[in-house]
Amino acid sequence: MKGTVLYGPRDVRFEDREESRIEKPTDAIIRMTATCVCGSDLWPYRGIQKIEQPIPMGHEYCGIVEEVGSEVKNIKPGQFVTGSFRIADNTCPHCQFGYQSGCENLGFMSGAQAPQLRVPFADGMLVATPDIPSKDIVPSLLAASDVFGTGWFAADAANVKPGSTVAVVGDGAVGLMGVLSAKVMGAERIIAMSRHESRQKLALEFGATDIVTERGDEGVAQVEELTKGIGADSVLECVGAQESMMQAVHSSRPGGWIGYVGVPHGVSLAGEQLFFEAVHLHGGPAPVRRFLPELIHLVWERKVNPGKVFDLTLPLSEVAEGYRAMDERRAIKTLLRP
Amino acid sequence: MKGTVLYGPRDVRFEDREESRIEKPTDAIIRMTATCVCGSDLWPYRGIQKIEQPIPMGHEYCGIVEEVGSEVKNIKPGQFVTGSFRIADNTCPHCQFGYQSGCENLGFMSGAQAPQLRVPFADGMLVATPDIPSKDIVPSLLAASDVFGTGWFAADAANVKPGSTVAVVGDGAVGLMGVLSAKVMGAERIIAMSRHESRQKLALEFGATDIVTERGDEGVAQVEELTKGIGADSVLECVGAQESMMQAVHSSRPGGWIGYVGVPHGVSLAGEQLFFEAVHLHGGPAPVRRFLPELIHLVWERKVNPGKVFDLTLPLSEVAEGYRAMDERRAIKTLLRP
């Protein structure tokens, strides 16, 4: 089969790779229905994250189970499934606490930008849909695998409740999913911080009630004004930079909650400042598996349409263009069809 | 009257001061029954915190109301009261959210190490006991004003629940109150990290089930071992140093909660590390006022005896010796009687 491999900065190749096969009795092989490019794929693509050796790319997936190992009990060939972007057994104590992101058998999925994928710990990783989905909801089921699950976790970590006032820092795919998640959780007011018109439009479609275009201290001042000087109850930090993190901390009211899911790059938090701001801080790699059944249900019942975040669809063989379009900000997120 | 004033490092004087009087119609004057020296008083005492001008010392208090301003409605002369160490009106939006520590009219109480004290926003600040308390519970009612309230907030911020496994970093008065609070909240296991025999003894009395004497990485390893490699559900950070904060972060399980109440001195948190540890972090100056009614109830019903944390009682006039004893670690906490 052919699959996607990153050789160096901006050097994505769609090339011959070995067929996936069952390696352990707990594995499953799935035939990809749709996969996509993640914002985090752009770090090594841009050379920000070092590439030691060619990397099989892709960690978001959904498709039909082709084969399962001898110990797999819950997942059967022929089922349509999706699963988390992190490898976790879903049985260890951390998984039981709902932190599959801290699993004793933690691993990072790779190689999903291909027609076929081996999924370890299939019973723990995969969640089957009630039936084979109709085509129109496939993008949304794919989104649950990472980007929707991560936006959902940001809102969950930020304690969004019915009636909450929420600010979302970052208008990338995850930030937009954060807006959608906050809306589903009943937020009354959702302030999306965005400079890009197309993303503002999508944010409003997903449930944003206000758009703030300013960044840094000016952005904070806008949130203050919109909240009558109180600050937001919940802030979703979906970038991972020093400025965006500080923007999140300062946009929160005393005792407010910050859910941060942008992988921090060079972020440093001063203990004394955090102390006197008295915010709640929680974040990390999203334990998507915890939320998957609920997210699939929401999509299946057509209560949400997170698949709208894909504004470019390409044949898998054109994956390199999918990366380019996101790198050049011509696309928010690229869906790939084998 | 005479009161306590700090002039410079280790220069505490008990000297003539002006009588307290009603300055605003929302003030109350209380006649002190008991006051005490706080761990945080030691920072300026030791010269770690700069002293710009002579500081009237003391922010923990309980006593009998002598006089109230014309606008005070809930508090009456003759009542026994205690109140928070932070000045807050208890009516602004932040107070309504339970974060009196972020009040729009925030201030820091001072001058309580004296026979008399003016309390602003008396209706918001003070909570009266059901009756004049018997002598034996006065130290515990005094403790509610700060040290017990702060330990309680640490446990609350660390999400201690019935059945929780808790680690407490720091064996000062606040850490010991954290142990007691975790016990009251139903923690099943409480690991107190302490090197000092007298404090270990008190920790065990307050409900600790395990003592860990190691610090830093070795302390973390001990907590790991005691929790079968999982880590603690809740960690109370009651010191405020870089090492103790890191000890707290590493002692938590993924997705665990850290309540930090030690005012951070030079603490810096790396965003990426926090992210991958996936802890919940919450702390700050304790909004004691939120908890006061419950704390007073617990003391009044003799369900807790936080007053045991005072291991030295002196006449107020010997306040300088009270500071010395704490500075030299001869006392955990000094109670002063006018």
Per domain, the residue ranges of chain B are: 2-146+287-337, 150-283
CB contact under 8 A, B271 and A267: yes
pLDDT level of residue B49 (50, 70, 90 thresholds): confident
Chain B residues with CB-CB distance to A255 below 8 A:
94, 97-99, 102, 287
For residue A38, pLDDT over 90 is answered with yes
Nearest CA in chain B to A98: B255
From B93, B274, B276, residue closest to A230, measured CB to CB = B93
pLDDT level of residue B46 (50, 70, 90 thresholds): very high
CB contact under 8 A, A269 and B271: yes
**Which residue out of B274, B279, B288 would a mutagenesis test of the A interface target, given it has the greatest number of A Cβ atoms within 10 Å?**
B274
- HSE of A314, CA atoms in CB hemisphere, 13 A: 18
Greater pLDDT, A1 or B127: B127
Chain A residues with CB-CB distance to B230 below 8 A:
93-94
pLDDT attached to residue A25: 98
CA angle in degrees (0–180, nearest 5) for B109-B330-B217: 90
Least confident of A144-153, A303-312, B43-52, B133-142: B43-52
pLDDT attached to residue B48: 85
CATH number of B150-283: 3.40.50.720
CATH number of B2-146+287-337: 3.90.180.10
Compute the distance between CA of residue B321 and CA of residue B332 in angstroms, rounded to an integer. 13
Tens of pLDDT along B83-111? Answer: 999 999 999 999 999 999 999 999 999 99
CB contact under 8 A, A268 and B269: yes
pLDDT attached to residue A48: 85
For residue B21, pLDDT over 90 is answered with yes
Helix (H) or strand (E) holding B234: strand B232-237
Tell me the mean pLDDT in the region A93-117. Answer: 96
From B94, B242, B269, residue closest to A269, measured CB to CB = B269
Tell me the mean pLDDT in the region A237-248. Answer: 96
Chain B residues with CB-CB distance to A276 below 8 A:
284-285
CB contact under 8 A, A265 and B279: no
Chain B residues with CB-CB distance to A48 below 8 A:
none
For residue B161, pLDDT over 90 is answered with yes
**Chain B nearest CA to A116, separation (Å):** 29
Tell me the mean pLDDT in the region A322-328. Answer: 97
A167 phi, psi to nearest 5 deg: -115, 140
For residue B132, pLDDT over 90 is answered with yes
Chain A residues with CB-CB distance to B267 below 8 A:
270-272
Q: Residue A61 to residues A22, A37, A102, A113, A115: CA-CA distances in angstroms?
A: 17, 10, 21, 8, 10
| In B283-318, alpha helices (H) | 288-300
Compute the distance between CA of residue B218 and CA of residue A211 in angstroms, rounded to an integer. 49
Tell me the mean pLDDT in the region A180-205. Answer: 97
Nearest CA in chain A to B286: A278
Nearest CA in chain B to A253: B94
Sign of CA dihedral A118, A124, A125, A126: positive
**Which residue out of A92, A97, A290 would a mutagenesis test of the B interface target, given it has the greatest number of B Cβ atoms within 10 Å?**
A97
Percent of chain A predicted with pLDDT > 90: 96
CB contact under 8 A, A269 and B274: yes
**Which residue out of A282, A288, A290, A291 would a mutagenesis test of the B interface target, given it has the greatest number of B Cβ atoms within 10 Å?**
A282
